[in-house]
Amino acid sequence: MVRINDIFAILLLILPGVLTEKIVRFCGSAGEERNQNDFKSTVNGILYSLPIMLFVGVLTDFFWGFGNISEIFDALNSIRFVVVFTSISTATSIVFGIIIAWFKRKYQNPVRAFTQRKLFKKNILTSDDTCWEAFFSSEDPMYLEVIKDGKSYFGFHTRFSLDGEEKELILEPIKNLNYYPEEEVRPLFQDVNRIFINFEKNIVIKDYDTTKYKEWLKSKVEMKNATP
């Protein structure tokens, strides 16, 4: 006969993985959050529970000296043990979820993109990616021209929304236009690195190369420092 303790123990074993899976989804891409289904979430949660429970099991064995798993189940009669076990499991789940989300963001997408391009000769995005997020994946400031209904907006991008939200971004104007003629600064942005096109919204975004602008800034700084 199944005891209440056994059911409670099973929940304690599974729920940490579910929490980790929720954190990974929350910190992941908008496309991943949108395309995830309940079955896949449950399976991922169970899989995440395995390493979490292994780690927590080692800790509890170290502090309580359990000889086998059944002793852990029996210890659930102790409120103190349940509180400590739940606290350790929750903290481990949060840390584990943040680490997995960071790893997927930093390594999984670049590795997957490299594999698609080099090994399988593909240049497509999976359901977990979006062109919007891929376009703004650069950590360096990008000088953009946003064209909407024939009207252009220029500036360095500082913020952009996730794909699941309304497509919004913040552009910061060139500060040096306040000190130097526009005719001197604007021609520095001629070469286009990439172009984002949203056919449905009729939006075109051009990402201009900033190499000449950086060299120009460097020359101005050197000239200023050389002036006595």
pLDDT (0 to 100) of residue 125: 47
Residue pLDDT, tens place only, 133-146:
777 766 677 888 88
117 vs 156, higher pLDDT = 156
d(CA 59, CA 57): 5
Give the tens place of pLDDT for each residue, 192-217. 988 888 887 788 989 999 888 888 88
Residue 109 has pLDDT above 60, yes or no: no
- What are phi and psi for residue 125, nearest 5 degrees? -105, 140
At residue 152, what are phi and psi to the nearest 5 degrees?
-105, 140
pLDDT tens string 11-42: 778 888 888 888 888 776 545 555 556 777 78
Q: Give the whole-angstrom CA distance, residue 160 versus residue 132.
A: 9
Please report the DSSP string for the chain in residue order. Answer: ---HHHHHHHHHHHHHHHHHHHHHHHHS-HHHHHH--HHHHHHHHHHHHHHHHHHHHHHHHHHH--SSHHHHHHHTT-HHHHHHHHHHHHHHHHHHHHHHHHHIIIIIHHHHHHIIIIIS------TT--HHHHHT--SS--EEEEEETTEEEEEEEEEE--TTS---EEEE--GGGGTS-HHHHGGG---EEEEEEETTTTEEEEEE--HHHHHHHHHHHHHHHH--
Q: Are 128 and 28 in contact (CB under 8 A)?
A: yes
Split at pLDDT 50, 70, 90, the class of 176 is: low
